[in-house]
């Protein structure tokens, strides 16, 4: 049984989560908190396996939320559900300890399956731009593709996953920004990914980060 804690300021959302996730016998929604303080108080004295949280809180950033949760229990997996563009925030939050991101429009069955795979196989998850779930299942696949990357592409990849912007990479490597973007697009094609979140996961699986 996987114990879930949900954070969302909207009562209808909290109620909805509890209702549709209760249909899965391996999931147990132990608590639905209105805000972060309420959730942290619950975590401090109760068993929680997975935290599913809204991203937009006025009182705390997602980065600080991850930090506070991990301080109380480093084994809790933190998943954010959101309508925001994951390319903007996914890599920094993944580095901070987030397990993944899901669209608010995702089907209940896909969400339940994602949570199950997170706890069973220690996977990271992300929804792509069609709101379909993408699972990081084959961790050996990126290693097989490693040999297709040139030494310069690997160099650019390391900078990208370290959070460097195109202009910073261009200055360090003494190339122009268009060339950096060309390398990035070429790597995404070779590694069969289409966003920075998945590019980071591939680099992580190749022990580059």
Domain spans, the chain? 2-135, 141-205
CB atoms within 10 A of CB 36: 19
pLDDT digits (tens, 9 = 90+) for 81-115: 876 655 556 667 777 788 888 877 788 888 888 88
The pair of three-digit structure tokens given for residue 142, joined into one six-digit string: 């990126």
CB atoms within 10 A of CB 111: 23
pTM, rounded to two decimals: 0.67
What are the residue ranges of helices labelled H in 22-103? 36-45, 62-72, 86-96
The pair of three-digit structure tokens given for residue 204, joined into one six-digit string: 């992580």
Q: Which value, to the nearest 10 degrees, does the dihedral of the CA atoms of residues 191, 181, 129, 189 take? A: -20
Does domain 2-135 correspond to CATH entry 3.40.50.2300?
A: yes
**Nearest CA among 175, 199, 171 for reference residue 185:** 199
Report the chain's mean pLDDT, rounded to a whole number. Answer: 82
pLDDT digits (tens, 9 = 90+) for 135-191: 554 434 444 455 678 889 888 988 888 888 999 999 999 999 999 999 999 988 888
The pair of three-digit structure tokens given for residue 24, joined into one six-digit string: 């899965």
**Nearest CA among 102, 101, 42, 87 for reference residue 68:** 42
Q: Which value, to the nearest 10 degrees, does the dihedral of the CA atoms of residues 59, 62, 66, 67 take? A: -60
Say whether pLDDT at 27 is over 90. Answer: yes
Which pLDDT value is given to residue 49?
96
Query: CATH class for domain 141-205?
Result: mainly alpha
- Tokens 């973007």 belong to residue: 181
């Amino acid at each position: 049984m996987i114990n879930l804690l949900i954070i969302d300021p909207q009562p209808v959302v909290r109620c909805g989560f509890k209702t549709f996730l209760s249909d899965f016998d391996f999931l147990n929604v132990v608590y639905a908190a209105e805000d972060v303080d309420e959730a942290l108080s619950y975590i401090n004295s109760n068993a929680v396996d997975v935290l599913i949280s809204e991203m937009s809180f006025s009182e705390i950033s997602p980065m600080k939320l991850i930090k506070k949760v991990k301080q109380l229990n480093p084994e809790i997996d933190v998943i954010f559900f959101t309508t925001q563009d994951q390319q903007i925030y996914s890599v920094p939050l993944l580095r901070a300890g987030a397990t993944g991101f899901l669209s608010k429009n995702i089907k209940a069955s896909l969400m339940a399956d994602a949570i199950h795979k997170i706890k069973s196989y220690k996977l990271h998850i992300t929804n792509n731009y069609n709101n379909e779930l993408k699972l990081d299942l084959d961790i050996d696949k990126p290693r097989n593709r490693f040999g297709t990357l040139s030494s310069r592409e690997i160099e650019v990849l390391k900078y990208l996953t370290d959070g460097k912007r195109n202009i910073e990479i261009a200055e360090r490597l003494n190339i122009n920004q268009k060339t950096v973007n060309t390398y990035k697009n070429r790597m995404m094609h070779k590694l069969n990914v289409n966003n920075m979140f998945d590019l980071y996961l591939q680099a992580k699986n190749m022990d580059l980060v």
